Amino acid sequence: MRVRILQVADIHASQKGLNTLRNAVASEKPDLVIICGDITHFGPYEFAGQVLGLLKHQVFVVLGNCDMPDTFEKVVLHQNIVHLHGITQEFQGVKFSGFGGANGTPWAYGNLYTEEEIYDALRKLVGETTILVTHTPPVSFVRARISEEMGSTAVDRVVQERKPLAVLCGHIHEADGVERIFGKTLVVNPGPAKHGRYAVVEVEGSKVEARINAD
């Protein structure tokens, strides 16, 4: 069975990001919507509710560093919305594991975790048949895209050790793209939805393909 995923990240409480999501859902007709964090920009909570409220599909979501940690305590989550942080959820035979927020770096702020916290959580969740959903990308991906030592070393380590099918992420706006790391795992960062960007990810068995759309 082929699963068609619409992936967005980094809406940052923007009307353009909201419109990007709305229009992509209508045009791409996904089976599943995945939101990789930074729905808001340190609020407002109502905007997160507006984003999630327009989606009638199955939705898996993690928060970003610019989302308040208590966002999903303030926003009503309907049955089609799953906060994927720290858990594994299956959809049409595909396993998805998630971890939100970002690793603490000199330039990151907000909803943060240590690399040890990220690694300890993910190593218990991720396997070779898993698609990992994070806000922060693995550092090897960022290095390959923009030659910078940015991203999470913990996510990188989990990918190297556990070899998931894919990592769907966001966070570092400049490091958008699709890249295979460690010989197997496809990493997809669509770039910020606030700039009109999203990805369509197709999963069929162990095969994962992705394309990025931009205004």
All structural domains of the chain, each given as residue ranges with its CATH number in brackets, are: 2-213 (3.60.21.10)
Residues for the chain: how many in total? 215
Question: Which residues, 6+ apart, have CB-to-CB distance to 95 below 8 Å?
Answer: 88, 89, 127, 129, 130, 131
Q: Does a cis peptide bond (omega within 30 degrees of 0) precede residue 44?
A: yes
Which pLDDT does position 4 carry in this prediction? 98
Give the C-alpha separation, 58 to 114, whole Å: 30
pLDDT over 80 (residue 104): no
Q: Which helix (H) or strand (E) holds 7?
A: strand 2-8
Which pLDDT does position 164 carry in this prediction? 98
Neighbours of 154 (CB within 10 A): 25
Mean pLDDT of 5-34: 98
Q: Which helix (H) or strand (E) holds 212?
A: strand 207-213
pLDDT tens per residue across span 119-169: 999 999 999 999 999 999 999 998 888 888 789 999 999 999 999 999 999
DSSP bridge pairs for 172: none
Q: What is the pTM of this model?
A: 0.96
Neighbours of 125 (CB within 10 A): 20
Amino acid of residue 52: L
Q: How far is CA 27 from CA 6, 20, 166, 200, in A?
A: 10, 10, 24, 11
